[in-house]
A = this chain, B = another copy of it.
Amino acid sequence: MSVNKVILVGNVGIDPEVRYLEGGTAVATVRLATSETYKNKNGERITQTEWHNIVLWRGLAEITEKYVKKGMQLYIEGRLRTRSWDDKEGNKRYTTEIVADSMKMLSRKDDNSSQQEEKKQQDIAPELDDADDLPF
């Protein structure tokens, strides 16, 4: 038995990237910042920002494509996954990502169509879970 759970509330750093696999499956990646403020030994206020790579599949990716923009505040629930790849020198490299199981928009960047999109967002809210049975 094990538990692998991540809960994040943070802000989107750049507009998400969304691509579609051969079979039509959507995959989105989101850069999400969380920051933490503390005082160091000299009493100075230090803000430390952490950047997270979020991966969203299928329905969550499609929602992301339509509604998630740079600057928005998101709630993400997911799990850690480290995958390996080979760089150009042939070295094994590792990247740790958060695979989202649930995503909620806490704010929206207002744009021209905001009133209308607000409604859309509410319409789709109940579908914001990744209930597919594939584990990635």
Binding site for B on A (CB under 8 A): 1-11, 33-39, 45-46, 48, 50-52, 73, 75, 77, 79-82, 87, 89, 91, 93-96, 98, 104-106, 122, 125-126, 131, 133-135
Contacts and interface: CB of A to CB of B under 8 A. Distances in A.
A136 to B, nearest CB: 8
B2 A10 contact: yes
A3 B131 CA distance: 17
Contact of A5 (B2, B7, B51, B134): B7
Q: Indicate the member of A5, A98, A104 with the most B CB atoms within 10 Å.
A: A5
B34 A4 contact: yes
In the complex, the count of this chain's copies comes to 4
Given A37-B126, A38-B134, A131-B131, A11 B2 contact: yes
B80 A4 contact: no
Given A38-B126, A126-B38, A135-B48, A80 B2 contact: no
A3 B82 contact: no
B3 A133 contact: no
Given A87-B91, A89-B89, A96-B96, A50 B135 contact: no
Contacts of A2: 8-11, 33-36
